[in-house]
Structure 1
Amino acid sequence: MPFLDWVNKNQAQETTREVPYHLLKQASVHGDVSGTNADNLLIQGDNLLALKALIPFYAGRVKCIFIDPPYNTQSAFEHYDDKLEHSQWLSMMYPRLVLLRELLAEDGSIWVTIDDNEAHYLKVLMDEIFGRKNFLCAIAWEKRYAPPPDTKDFGYVHDVILVYRKSAAFKRNLLPATDEQASRYKNPDQDPRGPWKPENYTCRFTAEERPNLFYPIRQPNTGEEVWPKKTRVWAMSRESHLRNEAEGRIWWGAKGTNSVPSLKNFFSGVAQGMMPMSIWKHGLAGHNQDGKKEALALHGDAPFSTPKPEKLIWVILHIATQAGDLILDSFLGSGTTAAVAHKMGRSYIGIEMGEHARTHCLPRMQKVIEGEQGGISAAVEWQGGGGFRFCTLGEPAFDEHGRISTDIKFATLAAYVWHLETGEPGQQVFDKPLLGVHNGAAYYLLYNDILGDRRPAGGNVLTHAVLQAINEIFPHDGPKVVYGEMSRIGASRLAAEGITFKQIPYDVRMR
């Protein structure tokens, strides 16, 4: 498989490991954040730092990622630096995509909107990070319904949406049939099975290429044998044709005298869902003007520069998720992804770096909770409710000397250590030294006086007394990994107990 190379690529690859781990600080709570709303987060801060902060808690949990990164169009945008030199743009995207992949569930997918300035380079970059076998589609989304007024050579009216899965475990959903699609189905013969439309009964193969599809069928009204053309044979085998005939699915025209039959395709089957296609017309997924009108209605005289329409995100989430799934957008913009996810009953995490996280995203989500009726609200019968947490990035968890920040609480470091050791997100409640058992090994953390002993030689230090307490209160018959400030137990005793001791902070590293 070919790889993309650019100036400072090695540095971009190192960036993922070098990004400091920051704490997330809850700034405010809006609405009801209990139950299914507990994971709803709006984060203000650099998305690279925020993604790193999310890894210990959400690695492998995100079902769908949608991002609308800067297109690197060499033009100026109010809220983004969209004039990066090409290699800088690639270096900006690489570590973020690596972290996004780590957050993605095995049955999850990632959707990235882009235009032709970087689309082909991004495709190769994502092939490298997600695996070329996991590429699903490059969707052409009709973002304009008319040519732009400044057209010189070609009227550029679409964006590309690159779609990748995490693994073969991903399964897409069908899209509901639209009113326009439903209007194509009629019932001229009053078939009790309902409306249908005729489908071609032949296919583009020659008789020499598909001899099994070159056979006569009987015209029931005239009794004549009907053969397909040698350059266009029947679309199905003789056995399938006989089954269609027995099921009354063949149409010979209004007067029953057509020389070539059609196949009845009933709307009842289509109504269950339509296969997603690789071209999305604006009637299905909206267009830029829809997004701008929605932004004007929400923000008045200060709309976001390039918002995506809610309808576009609705289509993506309909294909890629179910109610309750976790959605992530690390280039949240004006908050469209979070708004649509909220209205569709999905959990979500949105990350935005600038002040417009407060001026655009926060007020928009407050309006969603209050039941605003823009975008997809009517289609999904949105009436308001739910809630989210607004968070900011705190100080780095480790200082330049490797010391752990005093702001880190036990549960936060526990989730960090658990993910470091197991690769799993820290979803369990961390309120005791035993963090959990993974692949037969038990993991313990002695930190913040978790055993209630504040003496220097007590709860944070592995002493004989602490070890005895651990064995009595949290026994485990197998290997143990213990994190603590210091160990005062000899190597032979540790080996006899099956303990691997790791010292805080020196042995605390990012995966």
Structure 2
Amino acid sequence: MTAQRLQLTWYNKDKALIPTETGKYGYTWVDPSDPRYCETHTLVMDDYVHGSQTPKSDEFEYSERADLEPPEDNLLILGESGDVLEALTRVPELAEKYVGKVRLIYIDPPFNTAQTFASYEDNLEHSIWLTMMRDRLLHMKKLLTDDGSIWVHLDNVEVHRMRLLMDAIFGPGNFLAEVVWQKADSPRGDAQGFSSDHDTILVYGRSSTPHLNRMARTASDNSRFSNPDNDPQGIWFSDNRSAPANIGNRKQHPSTFGIQHPITGDILYPAIGGCWRFGIERLLPALREFADYEVVPPDLDLRLNRTNLHSSQLREDVGDVMIRGGASAPSQQRARARIKALQWPEFFVTESSFGRKAYPPEQGQPPRTWWDNEEVGHNRQAKAEQKALSTGGTTFSTPKPERLLERVIHIGSDPGDIVLDVFAGSGTTAAVAQKMGRRWLTCELLESTFSTFTRPRLAKVVNDQDPGGVTSTMGERVADSEGGLPDGVSPDDAAKFTSVLNKLISDDAAAKKSALVKQLKAAAKTTRTKDVINWRGGGGFQVAHLSPACFDYDETLNRVMLTPEATGQVLIESVAANLGFTLLHPDDDYVFDGRRGNALLKVVEGVATVEQVDWLVSQIETGETIVLAATSVMDGVREHLRRSCKGSRVVAVPDDVFRYTQGGDL
């Protein structure tokens, strides 16, 4: 019996979707070969929005990010995400620039919650939603670099289905994380049943080796670290000295042995079932700074008593680390003098035991899957950011806080990388990408959202008229007490302590005057440094929209038709895109309209004649061929072109571009 792979299936999974109405989330099922689904639209370039970078001022502090070159090669598109992705992956000029070049994709698609928001419709039936997402994810996979990643932001309605869909497209082995974002800062009083506190972000790699940046360590992360011995390497903490041995039925681990303590004289072993984290060759140099240690034959009876090993597992060739002549007053004096001298080695002696130094990792911490709203913001904060940017009083319904996107973009990309979001909404992804020195590419379906929110916001970003979000960072809280804060107490801890203390004594006049209270406040005193500017404006973006459809299907006639818009340069660009030709710029007086390798394209709006063929053949170089695309073809022209220029052909528009009849074959 052949094993079957687990698959997600749904109604009309083998069908495709086309928009029922332009500019709205409404779809109609069609055959995948229907030209209304297959047609590749091109991009019509509109105006370019450019901003200037604000010079630095002595009034502020600036981060390294404020010195990044503001990105200028960005693209904002008005159009349906499926058609935009089709253009990016199939129009030769765009495919060359973007296919395999996008480092990070973040999408916040319609959640399918059966609600209608002011800024977009969000009421797609499950099977329609899955088909819509599948087709877009397949295109997005082509755009990602080999080490790129895709982040899909969802609530609890479709996340379980999306996980299976992502497994099918990207592979279950490329699943990276299920990030949980605490989106709420309080329960919803109008909730029926549970009040939802979180959203989920599914993270997948394009391959099994994604590019992921680590997170910078915070003061809170380092609160358990200190430097009591003035170690030149910096702060550390005494970590576990033992590691799991995991030997099963085999002989004892070679790092399981006794060490005599130079002050107490006790012989110490690693934790039951474990071994020392270091072998004898690494421990001895450190221990010999505290006493005259040597390796001696083991005390097997003591070893049997101090470990969970069986007698048959004990190894006589693994000795114990003992003090030459045994622990004594001289050994105690020497050990205490070395402790007092500070700057202890990696494995060190304490008054009654041993310690092992562990330093903060230089490369920072790995990203974690729980994202607290105190760290990355919440819905209320996102709406406040939107309100501050709004000039007409209206705000986008479902914005995301900039700090949330800042974390996503930091983890998944580097400055200069391309970031893609095909559900732009209020433009948060593009805005934060711009502020972080990334190039970006985004599109929005609804013209009202595009004109009211997306474009105005991004224009403010490049013109340094957006002071909110991640534009600046609140100054760091630091110690302001004489002698600094006690070891293990972070500035944030001290500030919280002072705040709680003030609340506790708010109604106690005597306590407020207490010398002890004043002493505690002085010891916990902190202050904030100046705010740091991260973004000074600059850069710019190209505005574009999708070309109109040139091909349609008439169900009455059961044939493919040209639309009224299929004329002039629009028709030329559409035919070139759908046949895979790179356009030749019309202003350069080219005879032909496009090129694909050695093949040259000529689009004729009207009748292709023998005379046209003869003239075109006279314009080509040796080895070149011709593709003549015309809306009407005279008898004998096809054969004449084939004879006149071997390898050339005539394409009748639209019939030879899309050979489709309902219920028939391509």
Structure 1 residue 357, shift from structure 2 partner: 1.1
* Counterpart in the other structure of 1:227: 269
Q: Distance in 1 between matches of 2:583 and 2:649?
A: 24
CA displacement at 1:218 relative to structure 2 = 3.5
- 2:540 matched to 1:387? yes
Q: 1:3 aligns with which of 3, 7, 11?
A: 7
Deviations 1:403-440 (A, max 9, x none): 55433376675555447xxxxxx699897659677xxx
Rounded to whole Å, the distance in 2 between the matches of 1:137 and 1:377 is 28
Deviation at 1:29, TM superposition (A): 2.4
Deviates more, 1:143-152 or 1:159-168: 143-152
Deviation readout 1:302-361 (Å, 9 max, x if unpaired):
221221111111111111112222211111111100101111121212211221111111
Structure-1 separation of matches of 2:269 and 2:467: 57
SS in 2 for 1:471: coil
Shift of 1:248: 6.1
- Structure 1 residues 492, 120: CA separation in 2 closer, same or farther (over 3 Å shift)? same
Cα distance change, pair 308–346 in 1 and its aligned pair in 2 (3 A): same
**Is 1:364–2:457 an aligned residue pair?**
yes
Q: Is residue 408 from structure 1 mapped to residue 448 from structure 2 by the alignment?
A: no
AA in 2 matched with 1:259: S
Q: Which residue of structure 2 aligns with residue 250 of structure 1?
A: 346
- Secondary structure (helix, strand or coil) at the match of 1:181 reads coil
- The answer to whether structure 1 residue 23 and structure 2 residue 42 are counterparts is yes
SS class of match (1:349): strand
Q: Pairwise mapping of residues 296-315 of structure 1 onto structure 2 (< 5 A)?
A: 296-299=387-390, 301-315=393-407
Report the CA distance between 1:187 and its aligned residue: 1.3
Aligned counterpart, 2:621? 471
- Asked whether the 8 Å contact 1:458–1:466 carries over to 2, the reply is no
Rounded Cα–Cα distance in structure 2 between residues aligned with 1:203 and 1:17: 61
Q: Offset at 1:163? A: 1.0
1:256-306 C-alpha deviation (Å, 9 max, x unpaired) = 2353533322x3x43x33211222223443322321221121126322122
Question: Is the deviation greater in 42-51 or in 359-368?
Answer: 42-51
Aligned length: 482
1:398 to partner: Cα distance? 3.1
Contact 2:261 2:267 (C-alpha < 8 Å) held by counterparts: no
Asked if the contact 1:340/1:376 (under 8 Å) is kept, the reply is yes
CA contact (8 A) 2:41 2:574 kept: no
Q: What runs of 5+ residues in structure 1 fail to find an aligned partner? A: 420-425
Residue 4 of structure 1 aligns with an amino acid whose one-letter code is: L
Hey, what's the Cα distance between the residues in 2 that align with 1:80 and 1:236? 60
TM-score when normalising by structure 1: 0.80
Supply the distance in 1 between the matched residues of 2:190 and 2:247 (Cα, whole angstroms).
Answer: 51
The structure 1 residue matched to 2:381, chosen from 290, 294, 297, is 290
Task: Supply the distance in 2 between the matched residues of 1:334 and 1:4 (Cα, whole angstroms).
Answer: 32
- The residue identity in structure 2 corresponding to 1:226 is L
Residue aligned with 1:470, SS: coil
1:397-436 alignment runs, 5 A limit: 397-400=550-553, 401=560, 403=562, 405-408=567-570, 414=576, 417-418=579-580
- In 1, are the aligned partners of 2:104 and 2:409 still within 8 Å (CA)? yes
Q: Which is greater in Rg?
A: 2
Q: Secondary structure at the match of 2:11?
A: coil
Partner of 1:353: 445
Q: Is the 8 Å Cα contact of residues 69 and 331 (structure 1) preserved in structure 2?
A: yes
Specify every segment of 5 or more residues in structure 2 that has no aligned partner in the other structure, as ranges.
18-29, 53-68, 289-342, 474-532, 554-559, 631-636, 660-665
| Residues 1:365 and 1:196: Cα distance change in structure 2 (over 3 Å) | same
Q: Does the Cα contact within 8 Å between 1:198 and 1:251 map onto a contact in 2?
A: no
The Cα offsets for residues 346-381 of structure 1, whole Å up to 9 and x where unpaired, read as 121221122111111111111101212211111462
Q: Match for 1:361: what amino acid?
A: T
Shift of 1:24: 2.7
CA distance in 2, matches of 1:324, 1:409: 35
User: 5 Å matches for 1:454-493?
Assistant: 463=613, 466-467=616-617, 469-472=619-622, 482=627, 484-485=629-630, 487=638, 489=640, 491=642
Q: Residues 375 and 361 (structure 1 numbering): CA distance in 2 closer, same or farther, change over 3 Å?
A: same
Residue 373 of structure 2 corresponds to residue 277 of structure 1: no
Tell me the distance in 2 between the aligned counterparts of 1:37 and 1:509. Answer: 39
Q: d(CA) in 2 for partners of 1:110 and 1:303? A: 27
Q: 1:217 to 1:26 in 2, by over 3 A?
A: farther
* 3-state SS of paired residue (1:261): strand
Q: Check whether the contact 1:16–1:98 (CA below 8 A) recurs between aligned residues.
A: no
Paired residue type of 1:408: V
Give, as a single letter, the amino acid of the residue that structure 2 aligns with 1:263. Answer: K
- Code of the residue aligned with 1:327 in structure 2: it is V
Instruction: Point out the more displaced range, 128-137 or 178-187.
Output: 178-187
Cα distance change of structure 1 residues 227 and 318 upon mapping to structure 2, 3 Å threshold: same
Percent identity over the alignment is 32
CA distance in 2, matches of 1:96, 1:168: 21
Give 2:649's match in structure 1, choosing from 496, 501, 504.
501
Contact 2:104/2:412, CA 8 A, preserved across alignment: yes
Q: 1:189 & 1:488 partners in 2: Cα distance?
A: 91
| Equivalent pair of 1:21/1:398 in contact (CA under 8 Å) | no
**In structure 1, the residue corresponding to 2:15 is in which secondary structure?**
helix
Distance 1:260 1:80 in 2: 63
What is the rounded CA distance, in whole Å, between the counterparts of 1:239 and 1:278 in structure 2?
39
* Residues 1:264 and 2:358 are matched in the alignment: yes
* RMSD after superposition: 3.9
- Stretch deviating more after TM superposition (52-61 or 133-142): 52-61
Asked if structure 1 preserves the Cα contact closer than 8 Å seen for 2:286 and 2:347, the reply is no
- For the residues of structure 2 that align with 1:144 and 1:455, how far apart are their CA atoms? 64
Would the alpha carbon gap of residues 26 and 491 (structure 1) be closer, same or farther in structure 2, given more than 3 Å must change? Answer: closer
* Aligned CA distance change for structure 1 residues 45 and 490 (closer, same or farther; 3 Å): closer
Structure 1 counterpart of 2:424: 332
1:5 offset after TM fit, Å?
1.3
- Corresponding position of 1:446: 602
Distance 1:376 1:73, change over 3 A: same
Give 1:52's aligned residue. 86
**Shift of residue 145 of structure 1?**
4.5
User: Pick from 182, 189, 201: which aligns with 2:241?
Assistant: 201
Residues 262 and 133 of structure 1: is their aligned pair in 2 closer, same or farther, counting only changes over 3 Å? same
2: CA distance between counterparts of 1:388 and 1:148?
39
CA distance in structure 2 between the partners assigned to 1:209 and 1:377 by the alignment: 60
1:423 is matched with which residue? none
Specify whether residues 175 and 257 from structure 1 end up closer, same or farther in structure 2 by C-alpha distance, changes over 3 A only: same
Aligned partner of 2:298 in structure 1 is: none
Match of 1:113 among 153, 169, 194: 153
Partner residue in 2 for 1:373: 467
CA distance in 1, matches of 2:345, 2:656: 69
* TM-score (norm: length of structure 2): 0.63
Partners in 1 of 2:193 and 2:424 — Cα distance? 33
